[in-house]
Structure formats: structure tokens, C-alpha cells
Amino acid sequence: MNKDIKNLEQLFHTDLHQYLLSIGKVDERLPEAPDIEELWQKIGESYLPDGMREFNAYPTVSLGWMMFIGMAIAKYWDTDWELYSKVGDLYKYLRDQRDFDHMDDYICEKVLLLAGEDHAMMTKTVGECASRTYNLLYHQHLEPGTPEAFQGYVSALHQMYLMGMSMELKRLGYHMTKLN
């Protein structure tokens, strides 16, 4: 990964972290969850064909759905990792419960068990994160179809996944604090 793309991923990370911290959705110190983080490569590769197909017409959906996926994986990790770690492709497992277009609702309702106002607030939060990230990505002026544009998109997805994971772990009661 070249230096500019690494800096871009850090830009996404910092912006999302500061925003989510300001609304109480994550802690100052983000969680470390190697089991969940190690899945990124596989989930990202599986997601790319669907995410890229949707990006031009629905960029915030393409980015936002990855945040929901990060939340779902964190929830699976917390509830029954022994079972879910054996699923060959967790992205396709989530997508195929309904379809790509309704994956957000499936994750909110059936995985995160959110209803009513909680569901609406989560959707709003993810939408804001996706809009912020798309805005940052757009303002990099990466030429469409170039390796840099692809790497920028993947970096954005990666941070959406990690922040989704962090939000859900905090919601589940995991809090990261500094050791004295």
C-alpha cells in the first residue's frame, strides 16, 4: 500500500473515530478484536463485487453496508463465535438471508435485535458515517478506474468495517480503557 493510500485510510479512521466518539458510539480507545479483524480480508474480497457494483449509483449504501457487516460480525463473535467462525463466507451468509438491498434491515432486526427508534438511530448513524467517508473519498480526486481509486475505496470499506465492529462491541458492553 503506498504512503498516500495509507494516509487516506488514516484520514477515514480519524474522521470516523472522532465523529463516533462525539456521539458516544465508541470509546476513546478502540477495541482490539483479532478474531474479527482477521476476517476483514475474506469479508472484503467477498463483498467487493457487490459493493463495487452499487458504488456509482449508491455510494453511501456501498460504504454503509460494510459498517453493518462489521457490527454483525462483532455480534456473532460475542454470541457464538464457536458456531459462526465455521461459516465459510460470513458476508454471503448475511447477504443471502434476504438480499443485498435489505441486508441493513436484516442485520438491524435479526442480528443486532434493534427495533423502532433504536433501528432508526442506527440507520441514521451509519448513513452519516457513510456520507462523511464518501465525502472524504470524493475530495481526494482519485481518477475512477485507477488502482489508487480502488485502493481508496477498499481503505474506506476497511475503516467502515472496523468502526462498525467497534460500535457494536461498545453497545455490547465492552469498554476499552487505558491501564495505569
Q: pTM for the complete prediction?
A: 0.94
Within a domain: 36: no
Structural domain for 142, as ranges? 3-16+41-171
Per DSSP, helices labelled H in the chain are: 3-22, 34-38, 40-55, 59-84, 90-95, 103-106, 116-138, 147-171
Of the candidates 25, 54, 39, the residue with the CA atom closest to the CA atom of residue 129: 25
Please determine, for residue 180, whether its predicted confidence score (pLDDT) is greater than 70. no
Q: Given a cut of 70, is residue 1 above it in pLDDT?
A: no
Average pLDDT over residues 111-140: 97
32 in any annotated domain: no
- Looking at every residue in the chain, the average pLDDT score rounds to 93
pLDDT at 174: 86
In a domain, 33, yes or no: no
Cα–Cα distance measured from residue 165 to residue 158, given in angstroms and rounded to the nearest whole number: 11
Number of compact structural domains in the chain: 1
Residue 159 in domain: yes
Average pLDDT for residues 76-98, to the nearest whole number?
95
